[in-house]
Structure 1
Amino acid sequence: MDICTANYALSVEVRKFIEHVGDAKEESITDYLVWKWRELDKRFNYLRVTPFNHDEESSKTGADFDLELWLVGNSFQISLAVQAKKFIKRSDSYVTRLRYPKGSKAQMDKLLSYAKSRGSSPFYFIYTLPEATTISMCGGRYGLVSKAEDGAVFMADAHVMEDYANGKHGKRISRDQLLSVANPFHCMFCCPLAGSEAYFNNYFPVASGLPPRRKVEVPSYVRRLLDSAKASNPKDVALEPTERDGLQAFRIVGVYDMRNDS
C-alpha cells in the first residue's frame, strides 16, 4: 500500500478496536496501534522500553509517556514525545482530565519539559470516536485527505492543549473543541505537505519550533530500527543499557521510514 492508504487503514483499524473493546485504556490502545501499524506497514518498526501502569505513573520514576515516535525522511527528521488520552464523550470534564493527576497538571508539565530538554516535539494522541460533524484542522478538505470521522487517532500540539488545561478557553470544554485544534493521525501521511517539515510547521508551529534536524545522525537505536524494518528477515531490536536508561520516560519507541516518500 502507498503511504497514505496504509496509514488511513491503520486509523480505521484503531477505530474498530476502540469500538469493540470499549473499556480499553490508553496503554492498550497504543499497544494495539503499534502492533497493527507494524503488521500493515513495514516502513514502521518499534520496540518496547518498559511496561507501565497509568495508575502508577505519577508516583514513580519509570515510564511517564506512551511513545517516542521518529519520522525519518530524506531531508528531515522529527522526534515526537507522545502522551495518549482517550476522550470519547462529547463532554467529560476535559479541563480536569488534561490537568492529570489530581488537577496538578504534572503529567503535561513533565511532557513539555522533557520534550524541550530532549529536542523533541511534544504531542498528545487523542483516541476518540469522531462523528461526521467533527471538524479538525485538516479533516479531508478539498478531498485530499480521507475523512476524519473514519479514524480514531488525532494529534494535538501539547502547547495548545496546555492553553485548554489552563482555562484559557473556559472551564468547560468539549471533545470537539479539542479536536478542532488537532489533526487526524493519517493526515501526517496523506496531506500534500506530508513528508517534510512543512506539514508540522503549517499545522503545529509551536510544537515543531525547533532547529531543523537535517543531515544529523539519528540515535543508534533509531538506525537499528530502520535497518531491521527493511530487512528481509527482521529481528527484534534490543536497547543497550545506556540507551534504555535514556529512554525510561517512554514505554515504546517507534520509527517510521519516510525516506522513499519524502
Structure 2
Amino acid sequence: MTNKKLWLTYAWKDNEDRDIDFIVQVLDGLPLDVRFDRRSLVPGQRLWTQIGGAITDPAECDAWGIVLTANSLASQPCMEELCYALDRALSSNGSSFPVFALLHRVVAKDLPPALRVRLCIPLEGADWSKQVVAAVENRSPGLVINGLDQWLIKEHQVQDGIALEVRPRFDRIAPFAMAVDLDEKAQGNVLRCSPGPANRVPDGHAAFNWIDSAQTLTDGTPAWVWGGDNEASSTYSYYLFYRRRPKRVWFGHQQNLFLLNWE
C-alpha cells in the first residue's frame, strides 16, 4: 500500500536548531510520505509554481500540515501556503482534504480563523505523531486512555518546601485524613496538613473536628495523622507540606485509607 503524501509547511527560522528536521525525522518513521520544500522542490525552478502545484495537485499531496509557531504566523510565505491548502479543501473536489496545524507555543486566540475550526495537534502531546497519521489518513486517532485512577495527586513548590495536593476527581469524601510514618513528622520532614480549595495552596485553614496527632493505623503502623470533617471533592483538596518526599503517604476516608508509596 502506497503511503499518503503529506506536504509540511514551516518557517525557516524555526529550523535554526533543526527542530523542524526532528519533526520530519519522527514522521519519516511512520507510514507517511513527508514532502517539504528542501526535499521536494527542484532547484532553479519557479518556487511558488512548484509549491502551489504540490499542494493543490491530488497526485502530489493527500494532506497539508503546518508547524504553527509565532514565526510561521508572521511568515507571509507560510500564510500563502495555507491559502493554497484552504483553496483545495474548500473546492468541490477537495472537501475531504485534511488541513491541520502542529501547534508549538501558540494559544488558541492566535490561530488563523481557518485553523480555529479545525482540530489542531499540540506538539507537547506524547502521541502527536500518531495524531498526524490519523489526520493524513482522514480518520479518528482512536485515543486510548489508561494509567489514571480516581485521585488527582500533584506537588506544588512552596516557600518552605513542597505541598502535596490530594483530591478525588469526582467523589465527595468526608471525613478525610492524611497520614505519614511517625518518624517523618518527628524528624521534622513532614510539617503540616491543611484542607483548602483545589489548585490553590492554602496559607492556613478552618477545619471541623480536626485531628493532628500520633496514632496507630489499622495495620499496626505508627503514624502521624491529620484529618477532619472537611470533605475532599473535585473542588476541595487536602495539602500535605514537607521538605522532601516522605517514603509513604496514606490518604482517603478515615476508615479506608489508600497508600501512596514512594519507597
Normalised-by-shorter TM-score class: under 0.3
Question: Which of the pair is proportionally richer in strand?
Answer: 2
The structure whose RCO (Cα within 8 Å, separation 6+) is larger is: 1
Question: Which of the pair is proportionally richer in helix?
Answer: 1
| TM-score between the two structures when normalised by the length of structure 2 | 0.27
In terms of Rg, which structure is larger? 2
| TM-score between the two structures when normalised by the length of structure 1 | 0.27
